[in-house]
Amino acid sequence: MLSPERSLAPPEPAEGVRLSPWRPPVSDAERARHDRRMRAVVTAGAGVVGLLLAAFLGVITVNGLSAMLPIAPVDPALFGEAGLNAAESARAAAALGGWEGMSAGLLRGARWAPQALDTPSFGALGLLRSTALTTGLAAALAAPLGIAVAIYLSAFARPLERAWARPAIELLAALPSVLLGLIGVSLLGPVIARLFDLPSGLVALNGGLLLALMALPTVIAVAWEALDAVPQTFTEASLALGADRVTTLWRVTLPAAWRGLVAASLLGLGRALGETMAVLMACGNSEAPPTGLLDPAHALTATLALELPGALRDSAHQRALFGVGLLLLALTLTNQLVARRLLRRRAP
């Protein structure tokens, strides 16, 4: 047996073989110190991300809940002393304070009119209706179509088709939403206006079609993964009992993967729920609550993007917008939590 000193000597290279510079083996103590340093770096990074997330949620929650608190009214005479006329003074006073002067509460009114000359209105029910119309249409179109495509790719497609499908889905998911909004304004809008004899095609139907296109890659990818996660033994046992491929698909594969398919639909809905640019450009952004898909819509995300930069600090308008943001955050988190729970429990 070689002595410890002899075992640490560099090996003799064979003839014609070039070896990299020999280094002595790392000791256990050095390896432990390296592991501790890496663990500290990873823990610090996770802590920073956690603090940023907590700060984000805290700011949205605190400012959103402030929308439920009353705001003391502001005397219009103060603005008259600054040189504003009576109408401008009343409008500025209504914008800066007097929450009790609004026509309805945030969760009770349907009219969103923060720039109204008489009494500003901050009812979010009309915004919720617009969001429900566009995202509901997107989910109704993207979920069955995406699941159908996933079924074909998982059960019937050839290997070459599967190889081309994955980059195509990723490319569709990577399209900027502003380009899809441009398609909605320049292509879908005129078509919808001609088909339904409308003055403008910037309606909820336009936004819903664009959101369906944006949600489609998410639905296909997650549903495809859920179908591929079904054990192959299930399919083999069904085929061995004499069932054909279609019967095996409907009686075995789909029931075993239903949780993943529902989660795919919910994740697609969440993708549509949080989209801003497409609904901002293609839905018309009318203050009047929509009554159907052929009316202009003003979604929650579009309202925040349009009005938050111009809202006065600590005004009723800004507080109402933070309330809208808190409402949107609650809807999105609820949808994502339900989808993630289904994905964790999808294994048959």
**Structural domain spans, the chain:** 30-67, 125-344
Out of 3.40.190.10, 1.10.3430.10, 1.10.3720.10, 3.20.20.150, which CATH number does the structure's domain 125-344 have?
1.10.3720.10
Residue 7's H or E segment, with its range, is: helix 4-7
**pLDDT for 121:** 76
Confidence label for 347 from pLDDT (cuts 50, 70 and 90): very low
| CA-based nearest residue to 72, from 323, 315, 318 | 315
CA-based end-to-end distance of the chain: 55
Confidence label for 104 from pLDDT (cuts 50, 70 and 90): very low
User: Residues 133, 326: contact at Cβ < 8 Å?
Assistant: no
Stretch 122-138: mean pLDDT, rounded? 89
In this model, does residue 296 exceed pLDDT 70? yes
Cα atoms found within 13 Å of the Cα of residue 145, Cβ hemisphere only: 15
User: Is 273 or 110 the better-scoring residue by pLDDT?
Assistant: 273
Q: What is the pLDDT of residues 29-55, one digit of tens each?
A: 878 888 889 999 999 999 999 999 899
Rounded-to-integer distance, Cα 298 and Cα 103, Å: 19
Percent of the chain clearing pLDDT 90 (strictly above): 22
Q: Which amino acid is at 5?
A: E
**pLDDT for 278:** 86
DSSP reduced 3-state for 121? strand
Q: What is the pLDDT of residues 215-249, one digit of tens each?
A: 999 999 999 998 988 888 888 888 888 888 888 88
Residues 6+ away with beta carbon under 8 Å from 296: 200, 202, 203, 204, 283, 284, 285, 286, 288, 290
DSSP reduced 3-state for 273? helix
| CA-based nearest residue to 327, from 49, 63, 50 | 63
